[in-house]
Amino acid sequence: MRRRQIEWVVRGTLVFCLLYAVVVLAVHDEKFPIFSWNLFSNAPNPIGTDYSVRVLAADGLTAPLPVYYERSGLQSGGQEIQGYAALQEIGRAFDNGDRGQANALRRTFESTYLNELTHLRYELVRRTFNIRDRVECDSCFIKATVLGTYGTG
């Protein structure tokens, strides 16, 4: 009985492969999920950009300074991701020339995510990096441009 089942599985696999080959040869227009080479044709840009806060001085921070927000340990995982997303909004507003919105968002970020720190001095930074290098090295940047320096207390 076992041998018969194996024969049917092999036959079924062969029939499936033959049908797949017929469909691929008959269809000249690539249709996902049958067959689609264009899934492999778009390579991402190897250079990425993001924004962060680099803490220069602060009372109440245990991480060695200077430190980027993501490495500061100020927030738990979920809040750290929300803070990172907020930083991307701030950076885009700054780069779009909307200083009013950027400053409003920055003050909200400061009061929400940096509220545990006193005598705080930090920089808003645009970071440019190679995405392949960044996978292995979390702090490897091609360029870090300071967009502004701010402080509290």
The pLDDT, as a whole number, for residue 43 is 75
Task: Indicate whether 79 and 99 sit together in one domain.
Answer: yes
Task: Indicate whether 60 and 114 sit together in one domain.
Answer: yes
Count of domains in the chain?
2
Task: Give the range of the structural domain holding residue 9, as residue numbers without chain letter.
Answer: 2-40
Mean pLDDT score of the chain: 86
pTM listed for this prediction: 0.69
pLDDT over 80 (residue 41): no
Q: Dihedral angle at the C-alpha atoms of 123, 73, 110, 122, nearest 10 degrees?
A: -20
Task: Indicate whether 143 and 116 sit together in one domain.
Answer: yes
Task: Indicate whether 86 and 28 sit together in one domain.
Answer: no
pLDDT over 90 (residue 37): no
Task: Indicate whether 54 and 108 sit together in one domain.
Answer: yes
Give the pLDDT confidence of 75-121 residue by residue, as tens digits.
887 888 999 999 999 999 999 999 999 999 999 999 898 888 888 89
